[in-house]
Structure 1
Amino acid sequence: MALRTSLRSRPAWLSTLSPIVVVLFIAGFVLYYRFEWPSLATDPAFFQHTGWYVLQGGVPYIDVWDVNPPVPFAITAVLAALSGGDMLVLYGLSSALTSLVAAASVVLVAWIAYLVTDEHTPAVAAGLTMLVVPELYILPLQGVRAQFYALFFGIASFAFVLRDRPFLAGAVAALSAGSWQSGAVFAFLIVGMAYQRRGRNGALSAVAGGGVVTGIVVLVFAAAGALVPMVVQTVLAPLVAGSPHSWAEHIYTILLVFGYGSVLLPVAFYGWAHAAVRDPRVRWWVPAGGAILAFQVLYIDMDGSTDALLWLSFVALGVAITVERVIAWRTTRTEMDRADHDATRTARRRWIVVAVIGVLILSGLAWNIGSPAPKSTLQTMEQEATPEGSVPITPDDADVPSMQTIYWEQLKPDTCHYRLSWNEVRWISMTDDRLDAQTCDGWPDRS
């Protein structure tokens, strides 16, 4: 009886959205483990191996060169400890946790939309909009990727600040920035939102929460002698050797990522514009976050579908605001009916939204199968656009095994340059570093 009462008391938006999320993630799980398991992509292999390597005495940014902040390495180190050193178990744990994080992010975005609009239908629309990009529920099955954790922590920080918990909001926003650099957007927005809701004390509390998490990370890496290389690799290297793609190529990639779901982008833009013009004192952070992250995907970093996930959350919130306005507009054009008719009409609207965006979700799967992969497309563009000799080395020049071999055979590479992303290769070329350097303990000496 208690369970039945609890189920009945669930919000309407959650009752509508949760079965859809569960079905999509389970379907993705079944298909992936039927046809792909245990194939392992390079990025998850790198993050999970680094977590295992930490337990063997490896130090990120000294024994391992990488541009990503340290939180994903801490997560995979914990998972490696739980796996008992079994890399297949580590792979399974990483896939399960990342899938759970991605699914929770969808629900959190819907909850934020509900808190913002106080309407169930916009909340459902926001959650479903997240699902028009199939990689959100497909790629987590491959294991840990930094962007999924940046998304989860960032959206969770919004939930805390909107529930007037600024200290926790600041701490969790710092975890987002510590997962992926673009997560810093949430930290800035959280401080402004805390000030808006609770004044100067709220803003200071949010800063204090973020400062505690940042301070712990700084102390840990300072004690390990890795603070300078961490700053060099996670801050300076992306600025110096970041993605060379043009904004036109990034727009093309965004369209590849969204597929047929691109029709929701102007819907979201309208929602941002309405929030900026009609309700800037309360909802300013929605268009602000959307604009900042639009700059990220257009000019800074858009190497694949996961790089658009943070922006996708603001697209979803923009769609929610637009749906709210459409409902309000239609309400003003009809006479007030009885309460039961209102409830029926509300449910009908919710299912219309589910049907419309549901078609985009299903078509997104077909698009995902039939369209070229965004990351490989950008890599091809990059190779064609790079004049011969402008980057004197390539990842193939390094005498290191593949990331998959390093992972499954639990190798401890003799060089710190073994992931060898294009960012890393450009950095090595620009700084006269060596592919066979044993440690990456600071700014490379120029020859």
Structure 2
Amino acid sequence: MPIRIPLRARSDWIVVLGPIVAVLFAAGLATYLVTEWPAIATDPAFFQHTGWYVLNGGVPYVDVWDVNPPVPFGISAVLAVLSGGDMLVLHGLGVTLTAVVAAASVLLVGQVAHLATGNDAAAVAAGLAMLVVPELFLLSPEGVRAQFYALFFGVLALALVLRDRPFLAGAAAALSAGSWQSGAAFALLVVGMAYQRTDRRGALAAIAGGSVVTGAVLVAFAAAGALVPMVVQTVLAPLLAGSSYTLAERVYSILLVFGYGSMLLPVAFYGWARAVAVVDRRELWWVPAGGLIFGFQVLFVDMDGSTDALLWLAFVALGVGVAAERVTARRSSVTDPGDDAAPTIRRQWAVVAVVGLLVLAGLGWHYGSPQPQERLRTMEEAAEPDGDPLPIRPGDADVPSMQTIYWERMEPETCHYRLSWNEMRWIAMTDGQLDAHDCDGWPSRTDRG
């Protein structure tokens, strides 16, 4: 039978994990505000500008070409309303909300681990394992990025289904998929988990929750005349115009992202194996299943930077949590609970301390390990397949930088102004035009060659 933790289950883990998360994310936010504010990276500028553009008549996927699903645009539009049209205030809101969402995601991973195992050390270890990739708290203060919201809604969906709220879990999973395509895997996991916990009724409730959110989005874009271009750009374009790769290049990318935290990967793999190998833990099948699905994503589908690994990182962290629970579990053969209480507590603190040291090592990797990082980057570049150069490049387009478009609140005359490499490949494949005013139809041709 699945483990069912009461709603008022002990949460001592939050007393340990909460302050650590608060300190690291506050430090990341402060670092950005002191060293970079109000500079804005291209991705946050794009998402936040599109939110503002929507309020001024712009239609995503018609006036704006992009491969990302629409939820980040909707979030940015709400922030644009709150900002009153002031782009500096909008950026401040985007920075604050994304940092809070990323921090909440770490705590949600801890909660999911606790709900799944009933073990405080597992919850703390899982939460800390998220922090071994410091970009989680160093990049989130830069503003709205799709992957942070996909992570938040996806892990929220897991927490809700473990609390037997399948309808809300399905809705949250749909929001994850609507933030970033890979988030769709959460919908599959949530439906399976709901079925396991409450049979067909729960699975149908999860499907209904996801359908309500998905249906509302589809109706809204159909009413705006943007349904076809949304499907073309968020489904067809990523499948056909995705970046080329080799397996070796992706492995090097993963090692670059995890750094010294890569030492946790074997621990996570052990946790995944224990989740399905031990009879009383087979209800945790979704932990290794999620790890394998998102592992496939980072190895074969999309891994262009650290944020692309965040969803896999969540399941790596949960695997670490399961492993920590097995290490710190008290032997069932002990008749007197007090006999092994002290050794158990020592084991718990030892596990937390080891993972905590890897969090600090992650910061060392990020700031102070140029030589091994440079070696990995060289190997990564050497592994990239040689291909024919594209006939067009971003510099061929006569558009300002994304930063200029953002700060000057421009309404570009063309739909191609983000100018990502996915965009360039799509234009080349479809004989599209860089100066197209609208991107509102099905392509006349798609030629991968």
Is 1:352 paired with 2:344?
no
Q: 1:403 to 1:138 in 2, by over 3 A?
A: same
Distance 2:254 2:115 in 1: 28
Paired position in structure 2 for 1:204: 204
Is 1:159 paired with 2:159?
yes
Instruction: Answer whether contact 1:253 1:304 (CA < 8 A) is retained.
Output: yes
Distance 2:407 2:423 in 1: 23
Q: 1:198 to 1:148 in 2, by over 3 A?
A: same
How far off its partner does 1:29 sit? 1.5
Q: 1:416 to 1:371 in 2, by over 3 A?
A: farther
Paired position in structure 1 for 2:429: 430
Distance 2:316 2:110 in 1: 12
Paired position in structure 2 for 1:366: 364
Paired position in structure 2 for 1:220: 220
Q: Which runs of 5+ in 1 are unaligned?
A: 1-8
Instruction: Answer whether contact 2:249 2:384 (CA < 8 A) is retained.
Output: no
Distance 2:263 2:393 in 1: 38
Instruction: Answer whether contact 1:190 1:206 (CA < 8 A) is retained.
Output: yes
How far off its partner does 1:323 sit? 1.1
How many pairs are equivalent?
434
Paired position in structure 1 for 2:18: 18
List aligned pairs for 1:133-282, cutoff 5 A.
133-279=133-279, 281-282=282-283
**TM-score scaled to structure 1, two decimals?**
0.92
How far off its partner does 1:193 sit? 0.6
Q: Which amino acid aligns with 2:13?
A: W
**TM-score scaled to structure 2, two decimals?**
0.92
Instruction: Answer whether contact 2:195 2:201 (CA < 8 A) is retained.
Output: yes
Instruction: Answer whether contact 1:121 1:349 (CA < 8 A) is retained.
Output: no
Deviations 1:323-372 (A, max 9, x none): 111123x7469x66663x65544443333223211211111112112457
Is 1:68 paired with 2:68?
yes
Question: SS state of the match for residue 62, structure 1?
Answer: coil
Paired position in structure 1 for 2:323: 322
Paired position in structure 2 for 1:284: 285
Paired position in structure 1 for 2:5: none
How far off its partner does 1:39 sit? 1.3
Distance 1:383 1:241 in 2: 20
Paired position in structure 2 for 1:5: none
How far off its partner does 1:260 sit? 0.2
Q: 1:444 to 1:338 in 2, by over 3 A?
A: closer
Q: 1:65 to 1:377 in 2, by over 3 A?
A: farther
Q: Which amino acid aligns with 1:22?
A: A
List aligned pairs for 1:393-408, cutoff 5 A.
393-408=392-407
Question: SS state of the match for residue 296, structure 2?
Answer: helix
Instruction: Answer whether contact 2:328 2:344 (CA < 8 A) is retained.
Output: no
Q: 1:263 to 1:312 in 2, by over 3 A?
A: same
Distance 1:394 1:384 in 2: 19
How far off its partner does 1:58 sit? 0.2
Distance 1:267 1:317 in 2: 10
Distance 2:119 2:201 in 1: 30
Distance 1:443 1:381 in 2: 35
Deviations 1:354-398 (A, max 9, x none): 321121111111211245789x959x93997444x5411111111
Q: Which runs of 5+ in 2 are unaligned?
A: 1-8
Paired position in structure 1 for 2:308: 307
Paired position in structure 2 for 1:27: 27
Instruction: Answer whether contact 1:244 1:382 (CA < 8 A) is retained.
Output: no
Q: Which amino acid aligns with 2:355?
A: I
Instruction: Answer whether contact 1:110 1:126 (CA < 8 A) is retained.
Output: yes
Q: Which amino acid aligns with 1:45?
A: A
Paired position in structure 2 for 1:294: 295
Q: Which amino acid aligns with 2:26?
A: I
List aligned pairs for 1:56-135, cutoff 5 A.
56-135=56-135
How far off its partner does 1:446 sit? 5.1
Distance 1:140 1:413 in 2: 27
